[in-house]
Amino acid sequence: MPNNDKSLDGLRVLVTGGSRGLGEATVRRFASAGATVLTASRTPPATDSRAAFLAADLSTEQGVADLGRRVVEHLGGVDVLVNNAGAASAPAPTLSRSDASWQADLEMNLLSAVRLDRALVPGMVERGSGVVVHVSSIASQLPQRTEASYAAAKAALNTYSRELATEVGEHGVRVVCVLPGFVVTDGATAHLRHMAEKQGTTTEEVTRQIVDHLKVPLGRPGDPEDVAEMIAFLASDRAKWLTGAQFRVDGGILPTV
């Protein structure tokens, strides 16, 4: 979708987890606005995303350090960092969830962002400008049964984002959190299809069940582009006085502002 906001034109942007879903939509959004976009994930995009791809394993300290170094070598740093990469370990009852699954969710959903910020945000501070967008989840405020470790990691990401914003704000760097709700990405579609096969029903019916369970006021799941639009807005000059805050893109699921 074309973007008339010229403040995104020419920005250097890194989107992690940009090969599919929310990340891919975000890459397309920035690229359409004239930004120079890098994307990093384990696997390359399935289609032409108009972004340079860097293979990276963000679940390890060394993988993040290597990515940070290559980004600096490739672009000299970034103006916008979108920490979108994340993953949830398999569902498990909270009291029997293993230490390994807790650690995996913390590594991927909290520490990957902390480490990449550590590598790239100092360059923003030195230049006196920059935007960091952490993609969290409404699970951080509305945890679902059997997903405690993922929800806790995202809640920690929210708190970390708030503190980082207070630390770097005086240097012209903004830090914000985006909390998507039930969004139909490729991964979500595959999961819906699997659930439908188990129930002997359609993906449409399973989608309706989830919408009803979550009591989505707008009565439907979101699209990746809905979230990408919020991220692009927050990275633009239109949001130049927004920092340290959380922005829900959830169709009204959470009953608070």
pLDDT at 130 over 80: yes
Confidence band, pLDDT 50/70/90 cuts, at residue 5: low
Whether residues 55 and 125 share a domain: the answer is yes
User: What gap in Å lies between CA 69 and CA 78, rounded to an integer?
Assistant: 12
Give pLDDT tens digits for 180-197.
999 988 777 777 787 888
The end-to-end CA distance of the chain, in Å, is: 28
Number of domains the chain is built from = 2
CB 161 within 8 A of CB 175: yes
**pLDDT at position 228, please?**
98
- Is 227 part of any domain? yes
CB 39 within 8 A of CB 23: yes
- Residues marked active site are found at 150
Of 167, 172, 115, 105, residue with least CA distance to 136: 105
**pLDDT at position 257, please?**
58
**Of 83-97, 130-144, 176-190, the least confident:** 176-190
pLDDT at 2 over 70: no
**pLDDT at position 123, please?**
98
pLDDT at 65 over 70: yes
Q: For residues 67-84, give the mean pLDDT.
A: 97
The percent of residues above 90 in pLDDT, for the chain, comes to 77
Give pLDDT tens digits for 9-25.
999 999 999 988 999 99
- Is 1 part of any domain? no
User: What gap in Å lies between CA 68 and CA 193, rounded to an integer?
Assistant: 36
Whether residues 32 and 157 share a domain: the answer is yes
CATH, residue 104:
3.40.50.720
User: What gap in Å lies between CA 110 and CA 130, rounded to an integer?
Assistant: 20
Confidence band, pLDDT 50/70/90 cuts, at residue 213: confident
Residue 46: domain span: 6-183+222-249
pLDDT at 3 over 70: no
